[in-house]
Amino acid sequence: MSNTFGSLFRITTFGESHGAGIGVVIDGCPAGVAVDAARIQAALDRRRPGQSDLTTPRKEADTVHIQSGLFEGLTTGTPISLFIPNADQRSDDYSHIAHAYRASHADYTYDVKYGRRDYRGGGRSSARETAARVAAGAVAMQLLAHFGVEIVAYVSAVGEVEVPLDYQELDLSLIDSNPVRCPHPETAARMEARIREAQAARDTVGGVITGVARRVPAGLGEPVFDKLPAVLGHALLSINAVKGFEFGSGFAGTKLPGSVHNDEFYTDETGAVRTRTNHSGGSQGGISNGQDIYFRVAFKPVATLLQPQQTINDQGEAVTLVGRGRHDACVLPRAVPIVEAMTQLVLADLLLRARANKL
Amino acid sequence: MSNTFGSLFRITTFGESHGAGIGVVIDGCPAGVAVDAARIQAALDRRRPGQSDLTTPRKEADTVHIQSGLFEGLTTGTPISLFIPNADQRSDDYSHIAHAYRASHADYTYDVKYGRRDYRGGGRSSARETAARVAAGAVAMQLLAHFGVEIVAYVSAVGEVEVPLDYQELDLSLIDSNPVRCPHPETAARMEARIREAQAARDTVGGVITGVARRVPAGLGEPVFDKLPAVLGHALLSINAVKGFEFGSGFAGTKLPGSVHNDEFYTDETGAVRTRTNHSGGSQGGISNGQDIYFRVAFKPVATLLQPQQTINDQGEAVTLVGRGRHDACVLPRAVPIVEAMTQLVLADLLLRARANKL
Amino acid sequence: MSNTFGSLFRITTFGESHGAGIGVVIDGCPAGVAVDAARIQAALDRRRPGQSDLTTPRKEADTVHIQSGLFEGLTTGTPISLFIPNADQRSDDYSHIAHAYRASHADYTYDVKYGRRDYRGGGRSSARETAARVAAGAVAMQLLAHFGVEIVAYVSAVGEVEVPLDYQELDLSLIDSNPVRCPHPETAARMEARIREAQAARDTVGGVITGVARRVPAGLGEPVFDKLPAVLGHALLSINAVKGFEFGSGFAGTKLPGSVHNDEFYTDETGAVRTRTNHSGGSQGGISNGQDIYFRVAFKPVATLLQPQQTINDQGEAVTLVGRGRHDACVLPRAVPIVEAMTQLVLADLLLRARANKL
Amino acid sequence: MSNTFGSLFRITTFGESHGAGIGVVIDGCPAGVAVDAARIQAALDRRRPGQSDLTTPRKEADTVHIQSGLFEGLTTGTPISLFIPNADQRSDDYSHIAHAYRASHADYTYDVKYGRRDYRGGGRSSARETAARVAAGAVAMQLLAHFGVEIVAYVSAVGEVEVPLDYQELDLSLIDSNPVRCPHPETAARMEARIREAQAARDTVGGVITGVARRVPAGLGEPVFDKLPAVLGHALLSINAVKGFEFGSGFAGTKLPGSVHNDEFYTDETGAVRTRTNHSGGSQGGISNGQDIYFRVAFKPVATLLQPQQTINDQGEAVTLVGRGRHDACVLPRAVPIVEAMTQLVLADLLLRARANKL
């Protein structure tokens, strides 16, 4: 098990879907950061179930409790512990999967790896664990705010429905103007229809989230193994259901000739070093160059279906399972704050690490 | 700087393009592994420049020296140090970039981060550093061989030229039958032509490498942050020029409905647990499930062009640079052993880590 | 801040003396360990204040809550979170030290390091943090029990009052037969008198704790930097008030000639490898050799005195402070379970790490 | 195996006594430090065998080669690799221990742990490995010099012969005025006699080294687990033959009442915060307070004796062994630079880590 992420700004998460709660310990946040609990709660509210009829109707309050690390509203340099009690537990919902392996879930692999598992609601493998990440990310965000860094994410594709524009061409203030969290209203409407279609078919749908980090100081990223995109990719690929990560020009960039792909440097009117294009996605040699960092994250369709599926039980016998209870047909809207949180955690960590580079 | 990768099978690389050499220390390889130096050398030979007229004509012998950790042909559990002297140094080739920032290179970001850089051949940011990774990967490979794990990679796209088949439909024994390292001969010929076209235009071209790991035992991967795809993505995104990583169904899988994407479990005639499809790419909940692990890695086109480009110097003044010397128009063929090496290192590490899971 | 200890069996503690509580997350405990909450509580009860009139009269219930990681009484391989609410907080007791630096306390150094501190009861620097270590140690103990390892500690000196015998000559079952936790009854009585003398003088007294680990398998310890005594020393020197650590023959052994100090090997009647003496303290080359591991830990006298002391405030002005409230005149009896816990944590970690040594 | 030490200033050592050589990779040294190879060589010269007839007559040149990380005399922020070839290898000297276990050596424990060992000269367990630490320490020293930190160590006891004064009462410039490295000339003469007596008796003798770090800035040390004395103790207890570590008042301090032991704060004429006594040894709450850091390290007598000793072989049969070749009767004089080096490495690391404490 590896439930710790980060080097100098480091989080350790714990908790299962149907245990006492979900929590996180943040170690390494510098002293002197003003942390507003309301901003942590606001981040959690964007992730919680039951926000709209597009998402699972489970109503989880997801109230955060700050248990340590703050004194008179400021961080003290000691560990910050956040705890989110599990309010809405219904363990009896899960007896049908105590001995059966849901398709494309972690039931089988946890059993092989550990010899046992807490099967209630997926236990530790449940995406409920990401609530802890979102809470921790909201602390990282308040640290990053001191340095002017701003991070935002949005849904850029639901199934085959894609936003037709690049992030620079969008008004990102519109992200939360619709339940899909897509800043392109016409596409948002089509995405919403696509999700309702999946709901109606008792099926699910995946998609893509685009993330952008602006005003990131040049110099973040630790070659050769902890290059900025490598650590960011690690963070995002550790989110449940993520199948791919690309930054800057990504897979599409492999089709451009070098003469087009290269980002020409110039000095702007303020004397700042800039690039005329940004295929690099704000990172060169694994180190931020001061331009926007942007990336795309692929989410597979949700594995829990409200229709029968063939599978086996832990005796190897064929069985039929039907998903019960309250599940999202599409996780993308609720995954937006998770993508933001992991990006916040990575940049906070790299920012602290960069302090050791020069004499 | 973070020049160490891995947790229990851990490597630390060092060295610059034009210093004394490139090296790696492997810590944590279990005792009792038979290590054949010839297999390390063979891996390096697949990465070295000058293999064919498709790659840079630099002739680097890249001879590996084993400096510690072996006794009578077997590992002893102590650190294995490998050193590859730099044979073909021509420092005078690089005076033109001592004070100028090459487009889409790491010159600028290293200067910002560290206040100085060894500009000769890119110094530490040169892809020459990956020779150390390939050497270490060849040790990991010899450890993995004891467990039957087999890892292979090939070029699946050069620019817009793509292999039209999935890896299961290809004869992977053909990978080294052509200088492009593509196991589909007709496509290989088109790729070769595409690279020569770039050479003729004094331009460069990117592409995609597909990797496959077979016979990986179920149970590897450490949730929640060191899930198998997350660690693998970290490793591959740390390779020079990589812009994207996807595993299993990847970005394409976001367009499938859940009812199609889910991998149904069944028990095969031998009693083994299998899945009928493998959109999961051999990992569920971040843990290997015994099916093939497969993934794709995007490489941007080489940034060094043998044609003039506009940029700036370290005074912020506009200058024109032309790449000098001997450079690949396409790194994909030589990157195949690097992708294999990073995959070997990740799986060796996760294999050792998995030993601590159960009582 | 570094609130994480251990490599594969890893703990992260959090919490302050007068915040919501003290907690710990244990990551890496293998699945399948039966964990009895009563044994955790029993360990905490040996550490808590108010056990006898020899220790502080504060009555802290120190009730442990298990928040994650167990299912049906067994560990699942996921993080185990333990929380101990702070029951008896009286923040108003501490206003006098909000701006003054107590002698030989951490007030000044925390202020220098972090620019601020939670001064209530010492905040994070309070020995109350060790409650979390004791709780985690009790989980490690239950893992070690599967391997037959047994760890015990006792008070071997209070001030100048010392046990006149070696640990092999004592009946260690008597440790808890008296409030001092010294297994030599006559010395225990003298120690008790010495502590009461300090109480009467409104002064404090230090001492030494001896620890012993028996039936430790040979092969634990990771040269060259994580040798068993080095990691154990790190763990014990991280306890509040500890000023020294020696194992085996320790400082006294420096006065023996090599011909006397060397531990001759022999094969006993069962065919087991033994040593005739054990000056090595069970570790050779940093690796356990199957003999008893034993060591001594020095604790300075408690810094909080119930008598006036000269010091300065955070403006650099001279002030007089008198300790208020309820404080131990001697922490040794309550430190016994802390020494045991740190030893348990180290051996659990080294035991898991040793699994990766051989093929 | 754990051959890496340090968090931000991190070293990885490799090499065996009779392999190609001994080396170290330093990762994390900030860019811009002027590193003088002559100072590294000078440190090695203080550690090497054959310095005087008090030490082993082996003549090892121990010439350091800098293989990476420097450019034009300054560090670049990339890994610094140092290699010391093994010049004087005589493998045939060691056939007698290929299958026998020397008393109080690591032969037996390496065999148990790894199933095999390089028995030539002790292989990896040889104190020759510390040459790499000394070389790395000399780089750390050059970093620390920028911050004014000064570290020095000396032999304070050889067997029962002890320096009768505290470090403050000695003229530490005399340390290298005699081959014993004791700054108290009369005691040095008695120590020298004591070592010659051991040589004559074909026996060995241990002792104590005292270390002092001056002008260490306040604020170094990372509670709660990486307190300054805990990390320092870890480092020093990882040196071959070390059996104990105490700092400040140490074991003797356990006998003082708290009213005497406490270090009263005052403001000196320059406005600096000072303490009137320094029983704390420069660390309070695990964080440096700006006063001198001082400590003592116990070394057991050398285990290799030039007289017959009973032991067993790897079949469990009784055998007699006599040490062959060239061995020190007392390692203390040559261990002085090793103690200094480990202290330098620890303080360099804590200094870099402290940069992340405040906003």
Q: Tell if the CB–CB gap between C254 and D281 is shorter than 8 Å.
A: no
Which tokens go with B200?
Answer: 């003729």
- Helix axis angle for A332-353 and A37-47, nearest 10°, is 140
Q: Indicate whether B59 pLDDT > 70.
A: no
For residue range C42-64, what is the model confidence (pLDDT) as tens digits?
A: 999 999 988 877 766 566 679 99
- pLDDT (mean) for A177-187: 98
Determine if residue C303 is labeled as part of a ligand binding site: yes
**Residue of chain D with shortest Cα separation from C161:** D255
Residues in C touching D254 (Cβ below 8 Å)? 157, 159, 206-208, 243, 298-301
For residue range C275-301, what is the model confidence (pLDDT) as tens digits?
A: 999 999 999 999 999 999 999 999 999
Determine if residue B273 is labeled as part of a ligand binding site: no
Residue A51 DSSP class? S
Determine if residue A240 is labeled as part of a ligand binding site: yes
Q: Tell if the CB–CB gap between A76 and C124 is shorter than 8 Å.
A: yes
Q: Indicate whether C68 pLDDT > 70.
A: yes
* Partner-chain residue, chosen from A8, A32, A33, that has the shortest CB–CB distance to D356: A8
Residues in A touching D227 (Cβ below 8 Å)? none
- The most distant pair of C-alpha atoms in chain D lies apart, rounded to whole Å, by 70
Q: What is the CATH number of the domain that holds D140?
A: 3.60.150.10
Q: Tell if the CB–CB gap between B303 and A113 is shorter than 8 Å.
A: no
**Residue of chain C with shortest Cα separation from B32:** C359
A10 Cβ under 8 Å from any chain C Cβ: yes
D16 Cβ under 8 Å from any chain C Cβ: no
The burial class, CB within 10 Å (0-12 / 13-18 / 19+), for A296 is: buried
A256 Cβ under 8 Å from any chain D Cβ: no
- Closest CA relative to residue B289, chosen from B218, B221, B353: B218
Q: Tell if the CB–CB gap between D359 and A31 is shorter than 8 Å.
A: yes
Predicted pLDDT at C49: 86
- Closest CA relative to residue B336, chosen from B204, B130, B153: B153
Predicted pLDDT at D53: 77
Predicted pLDDT at A277: 98
Predicted pLDDT at A54: 77
Q: Are D79 and D27 contacting, i.e. CB atoms less than 8 angstroms apart?
A: yes
- Closest CA relative to residue A54, chosen from A244, A188, A211, A239: A188
D111 Cβ under 8 Å from any chain B Cβ: no
Question: Which stretches of chain D drop beneath a pLDDT of 70?
Answer: 55-60, 88-93
Predicted pLDDT at A234: 98
Q: Distance between CA D40 and CA D47 in Å, rounded? A: 11
Determine if residue B173 is labeled as part of a ligand binding site: no
Amino acid making up residue D75: T
For D228, phi then psi, to 5°, come to: -50, -50
Residue B81 lies in a domain: yes
- Closest CA relative to residue A46, chosen from A216, A194, A209: A209
Confidence of residue B56 (pLDDT cuts 50, 70, 90): low
Q: Tell if the CB–CB gap between D251 and C253 is shorter than 8 Å.
A: no
- Closest CA relative to residue A202, chosen from A342, A329, A335, A339: A329
What is the DSSP code string of C278-293?
A: -TTTTEETTEE-SSPE
For residue range A214-266, what is the model confidence (pLDDT) as tens digits?
A: 999 999 999 999 999 999 999 999 999 999 999 999 999 999 999 999 999 99
Predicted pLDDT at B51: 82
Confidence of residue A87 (pLDDT cuts 50, 70, 90): confident
Residue C227 lies in a domain: yes
CA distances from D45 to A152, B242, D61, D172, D336 (A): 57, 45, 8, 19, 12
pLDDT above 70: percentage of residues in chain C: 97
With b meaning 16 or more CB within 10 Å and e meaning fewer, what string describes D61-71? ebebebbbbbb
Can you say whether the dihedral through the CA atoms of C41, C42, C43, C44 is positive or negative? positive
Q: Tell if the CB–CB gap between D243 and C245 is shorter than 8 Å.
A: no
Residue B177 lies in a domain: yes
Residue A53 vs residue B328, higher pLDDT: B328
Q: Nearest CA of chain C to the CA of D217: how many Å? A: 10
Predicted pLDDT at A93: 67
Q: Indicate whether B164 pLDDT > 60.
A: yes
Q: Distance between CA C283 and CA D303 in Å, rounded? A: 14
Confidence of residue A185 (pLDDT cuts 50, 70, 90): very high
Residue C269 lies in a domain: yes
Plot region of B135 (φ>0 → left; ψ -120 to 50 → alpha; else → beta) = alpha
Predicted pLDDT at B220: 98
Q: Nearest CA of chain B to the CA of D205: how many Å? A: 29
Beta bridge partners of C230: none
A322 CB neighbour count, 10 Å cutoff: 12
Q: Tell if the CB–CB gap between A27 and C4 is shorter than 8 Å.
A: yes
For D160, phi then psi, to 5°, come to: -85, 0
**Residue of chain D with shortest Cα separation from B72:** D118
Residue C359 lies in a domain: no
Residues in C touching A18 (Cβ below 8 Å)? none
CA distances from B139 to A245, B82, B149, B261, C335 (A): 29, 10, 13, 36, 47
Predicted pLDDT at C343: 98
A86 Cβ under 8 Å from any chain C Cβ: no
For A81, phi then psi, to 5°, come to: -110, 130
Q: Are B302 and B326 contacting, i.e. CB atoms less than 8 angstroms apart?
A: no
The alpha-carbon radius of gyration of chain D (Å, integer) is 21
Q: Tell if the CB–CB gap between A146 and D358 is shorter than 8 Å.
A: no
Q: Are C249 and C261 contacting, i.e. CB atoms less than 8 angstroms apart?
A: yes
Please provide the distance, in angstroms rounded to a whole number, between the alpha carbons at the two ends of chain C: 36
- Closest CA relative to residue A9, chosen from A349, A332, A357, A350: A349
For residue range B263-306, what is the model confidence (pLDDT) as tens digits?
A: 999 999 999 999 999 999 999 999 999 999 999 999 999 999 99
Beta bridge partners of B158: B161, B207
Return the number of CB contacts < 8 Å for B and C.
Answer: 38
What is the DSSP code string of A124-152?
A: GGSGGGHHHHHHHHHHHHHHHGGGT-EEE
Q: Tell if the CB–CB gap between A14 and C81 is shorter than 8 Å.
A: yes
Q: Distance between CA B330 and CA A255 in Å, rounded? A: 12
For residue range A257-309, what is the model confidence (pLDDT) as tens digits?
A: 999 999 999 999 999 999 999 999 999 999 999 999 999 999 999 999 999 99
Residue to test with chain B: of D65, D67, D95, D97, most B Cβ within 10 A: D67
A91 Cβ neighbours under 8 A, 6+ residues apart: A18, A120, A121
Return the number of CB contacts < 8 Å for C and D.
Answer: 378
D74 Cβ under 8 Å from any chain B Cβ: yes
Domain that holds residue A20: 4-356
Q: Distance between CA D128 and CA B272 in Å, rounded? A: 51
Among A90-94, B79-83, B143-147, C42-46, the minimum mean pLDDT is found in A90-94
pLDDT above 90: percentage of residues in chain B: 91
Confidence of residue A323 (pLDDT cuts 50, 70, 90): confident
* Partner-chain residue, chosen from C28, C31, C359, that has the shortest CB–CB distance to B359: C31
Q: Tell if the CB–CB gap between B359 and C8 is shorter than 8 Å.
A: no
Q: Tell if the CB–CB gap between C300 and D203 is shorter than 8 Å.
A: no
Residues in C touching A85 (Cβ below 8 Å)? none
Predicted pLDDT at B104: 96
A34 Cβ under 8 Å from any chain D Cβ: no
**Residue of chain D with shortest Cα separation from B30:** D114
Predicted pLDDT at D334: 97
Q: Nearest CA of chain B to the CA of A156: how many Å? A: 12
Q: Distance between CA D301 and CA C198 in Å, rounded? A: 39
Residue B359 lies in a domain: no
Among A347-351, B334-338, D307-311, the minimum mean pLDDT is found in D307-311
Q: Tell if the CB–CB gap between C32 and B359 is shorter than 8 Å.
A: yes
Q: Nearest CA of chain B to the CA of A76: how many Å? A: 26
Q: Distance between CA B223 and CA A341 in Å, rounded? A: 18
Residue D202 DSSP class? T
Annotated binding site of D for FMN: 124-126, 240-241, 285, 300-304, 326
Predicted pLDDT at A210: 98
Residue B326 vs residue D4, higher pLDDT: D4
Q: Nearest CA of chain A to the CA of D185: how many Å? A: 39
Q: Tell if the CB–CB gap between B357 and C8 is shorter than 8 Å.
A: no
Beta bridge partners of D214: D150
How many structural domains comprise chain A? Answer: 1
ipTM here: 0.97
* Partner-chain residue, chosen from A4, A16, A123, that has the shortest CB–CB distance to C4: A4
Residue B320 lies in a domain: yes
Give all strands (DSSP E) within chain C, no chain letters: 4-5, 10-15, 21-27, 65-68, 70-71, 74-75, 80-85, 100-101, 150-158, 161-162, 207-214, 242-247, 265-267, 273-275, 283-284, 287-288, 293-299, 308-313, 318-322
Determine if residue A274 is labeled as part of a ligand binding site: no
Annotated binding site of D: 47, 124-126, 240-241, 285, 300-304, 326
Determine if residue B255 is labeled as part of a ligand binding site: no
Any chains having at least 3 CB pairs less than 8 A from chain A are B, C, D
Residue C253 lies in a domain: yes
For C333, phi then psi, to 5°, come to: -55, -40
What is the DSSP code string of B88-128?
A: ---GGGGGGGSSEE-TTSSHHHHHHHHS----GGGGGGSGG
For residue range C112-140, what is the model confidence (pLDDT) as tens digits?
A: 999 999 999 899 999 999 999 999 999 99
